[in-house]
Each structure stands twice: as structure tokens, then as C-alpha cells.
Amino acid sequence: MKLLDRAREIGPAVWLFLLYQNNAELSGDPTWAPVVEARAVTDVEAAGLLRVSASTAVRWRRRLERISVIKTQACRGGGFKIWLRHSDASSTPSGVLAAEQWPEMQSTAVQ
């Protein structure tokens, strides 16, 4: 998954995505990483950490699920087990040249 290609789809839910990514762990699965050891996470907890309303956290979680950036499993007692899709694929669009391949450009100072 290339994050830059998904930026428009992720939108403001990027904050929740980054929270999940910061708490994801390598598990040997090449596609999905469990968040907080696959323990239940509530939308209220996420909202509190991000300082947004619970309804905003719900909306962001659903958006991330809809675009397949995360997958969830509802837990008894509330909350969700969350898995984050690995984002280790190159995030550079394929048509962009590496910096060393850029042509020489003259720069001018504008005052």
C-alpha cells in the first residue's frame, strides 16, 4: 500500500491512522500488524488520546475500514481488535525521479 496514493481517501483520519501505526507491532504477517497486541481498543480511548469527539473517532475508524487500511473485530465488552495494513511499500509515486536523476535547474532569488 502506498500511503501517498491513499492520502485523499484517508483525509483527516490520518491522525487515527498514525495513532494506530505508532502502536502497531510486527507479527510475522506480511500484510497486517496487530495494534496494541490485538487487545480491544475503544473509540472513546482513541478519541481521548487524539483530543477529538468519540463520534469523530468512530467516523475516522469506519473510513479507515472502508478503504481497507485497517481491519477490526468487535470484542465483548466493547471496543475492537485492530489490525493495520503494512505501509512499507515505497510511498514515492512511480513516475517521480530520484533526486540524483533530476535535471540541473537554475535558481534565482526573488525579492
| Closest C-alpha among 88, 57, 87 to residue 72 | 57
Relative to beta strand 32-34, strand 80-85 is antiparallel
Residue 53 exposure: Cα atoms within 13 Å on the Cβ side? 3
* Domain ranges (residues) in the chain: 3-87
State the Cα–Cα distance between residues 22 and 69, nearest whole angstrom.
14
Each residue's pLDDT expressed in tens, for the chain with a length of 111 residues: 567 777 888 999 999 999 999 999 888 888 899 999 889 999 999 999 999 999 999 999 999 999 999 999 999 988 999 999 986 533 344 455 566 666 676 666 665
Q: Which residues pair with 82 in a beta bridge?
A: 72
Cell for 63?
A: 473510513
What string of DSSP letters covers 39-101?
--B-HHHHHHHHTS-HHHHHHHHHHHHHTTSEEEEE-TTS-EEEEEE---S--S-TTSPPGGG
Q: Which CATH number, 3.40.50.1000, 1.20.1440.230, 1.10.10.10, 3.40.50.2020, labels domain 3-87?
A: 1.10.10.10
